[in-house]
Amino acid sequence: MTAKEYLNQAYRLDQRINSKLEQVASLNQLATKCTHTITDMPRNPCHGTSTMADAVAKIVDLQVEINRDIDHLVDLKREIVGVIKAVDNTECQTLLELRYLCFKSWEQIAVDMGYNVRHVYRLHDVAVSLVKVPETSQ
């Protein structure tokens, strides 16, 4: 695994968490839209599941997954912080933290650091070359 791939893990996990949160919101909307259809036709006694119960079960399952992913994200960010702090150059540390822990765009990093975007790209190349990926991640 390259240094960039290692550092990008947190961003990808954060995206998956956000996607699951959107799914929960969608399922919540579905669960609140569930209505009972009144009809004079007899019901099938074997058809015991309801749409609302299914939606609630899926919501609970997704929330458990989200909590597990958030725990993993916190652990991963803690590990990445340790790797970034091992870089000797404080300027490179700042850039890596802004990009891989705060998930800021290159343009925003340039503004925050007072550089132009091209210099940020060059500094990023230097910073990534200084990152030592832990043995367990390779």
Q: What is the pLDDT of residues 45-61, one digit of tens each?
A: 555 556 677 778 888 99
**Segment 71-100, tens digit of pLDDT:** 999 999 999 999 999 999 999 999 999 999
Q: Is the dihedral of CA 72, 75, 77, 80 positive or negative?
A: negative
| pLDDT at res. 47 | 56
Q: What is the pLDDT of residue 45?
A: 58
Mean pLDDT confidence for 97-119:
97
Burial 72-98 (b: 16+ CB within 10 A, else e): ebeebbebbbebbeebeeeebbbbbbb
Rg (CA), the chain: 23
Look at the alpha carbons of 2, 78, 97, 85 in this order and tell me if their dihedral is positive or negative.
negative
Residue of 7 and 39 predicted with greater confidence: 7
Mean pLDDT confidence for 105-123:
98
The confidence score (pLDDT) of residue 40 equals 66
**Interatomic CA distance for residues 30 and 64, integer angstroms:** 19
Residue 136 confidence class, pLDDT cut points 50, 70, 90: confident
Q: Is the pTM for the entire model greater than 0.85?
A: no
For residue 2, the model assigns a pLDDT of 93
